[in-house]
């Protein structure tokens, strides 16, 4: 964290230490797998509906992040991380590889913030950086889905438009159906 690449931003959360948000290369994504794994394990253990069931084992989480890193290498994804002096604090992805009739669009995916980083502005910083990265990649429309009321508030404050809610769309990590809200944001 001592060196800051051109794609990184530093900010200081209210009463908190400096956090750096940066875009990872494929090699950096592979190197970040252990830290990303910790964030995913923490989020699932904390009840986040992010595609995985509890208990999530480390090998499954590591395999997921290795696949994401491969997608970064292949230019299919943009991976951003938020880090503090303890390591990876949060992450978000842009799935930029889309069908031929949707080259202008990206999916914002796996917005994850470790519980130790919540309420520090990490999510908002990741959202801002993701939107900037999407613009730089030539994307003019972003879409996402969430089952988290806290995340919904963040997205709405960031100018995202809620399209609607699909009941029983996914499962909570411990089981039981959860509703999922869908959002979009035009980048103009």
Question: For residue range 45-99, what is the model confidence (pLDDT) as tens digits?
Answer: 999 999 999 999 999 999 999 999 999 999 999 999 999 999 999 999 999 999 9
Q: What is the widest separation between alpha-carbon atoms in the chain?
A: 46
Q: Is residue 3 assigned to a domain?
A: no
Whole-number pLDDT of residue 74: 98
Q: Is residue 27 assigned to a domain?
A: yes
* Full residue range of the structural domain in which residue 142 is found: 8-186
Cross-strand bridge partners of residue 75: none
Strand blocks (E) in the chain: 8-12, 18-24, 77-84, 87-95, 105-113, 141-146, 161-171, 177-186
Specify the higher pLDDT residue, 188 or 106.
Answer: 106
Whole-number pLDDT of residue 12: 58
Whole-number pLDDT of residue 188: 85
The domain spanning residue 154 has which CATH number?
3.40.630.30
Domain count, the chain: 1
Mind listing the pLDDT tens digit for each residue in 1-57? Answer: 333 334 566 665 555 568 999 999 999 999 999 999 999 999 999 999 999 999 999
Compute the distance between CA of residue 116 and CA of residue 111 in angstroms, rounded to an integer. Answer: 15
Q: Is residue 113 assigned to a domain?
A: yes
Burial 92-107 (b: 16+ CB within 10 A, else e): bbbbbeeeeeeeebbb
Q: What is the mean pLDDT of residues 150-171?
A: 97
Which alpha helices (DSSP H) does 96-179 contain, by range?
122-136, 149-157
Q: Is residue 2 assigned to a domain?
A: no
């Amino acid at each position: 964290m001592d060196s800051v690449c051109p794609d990184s931003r530093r900010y200081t959360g209210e009463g908190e230490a400096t956090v750096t948000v940066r875009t990872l290369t494929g090699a950096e994504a592979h190197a970040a797998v252990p830290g990303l794994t910790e964030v995913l394990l923490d989020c699932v253990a904390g009840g986040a509906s992010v595609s995985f069931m509890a208990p999530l084992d480390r090998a499954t989480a590591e395999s997921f992040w290795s696949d994401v890193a491969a997608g970064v290498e292949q230019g299919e994804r943009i991976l951003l991380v938020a880090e503090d002096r303890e390591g990876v604090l949060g992450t978000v992805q842009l799935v930029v590889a889309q069908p031929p009739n949707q080259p202008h669009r990206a999916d914002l995916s796996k917005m994850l913030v470790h519980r130790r980083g919540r309420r520090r502005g990490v999510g908002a910083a990741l959202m801002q950086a993701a939107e900037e990265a999407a613009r730089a990649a030539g994307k003019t429309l972003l879409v996402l889905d969430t089952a988290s009321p806290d995340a919904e508030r963040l997205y709405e404050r960031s100018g995202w438009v809620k399209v609607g809610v699909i009941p029983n769309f996914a499962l909570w990590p411990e089981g039981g159906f959860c509703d999922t809200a869908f959002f979009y944001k035009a980048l103009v």
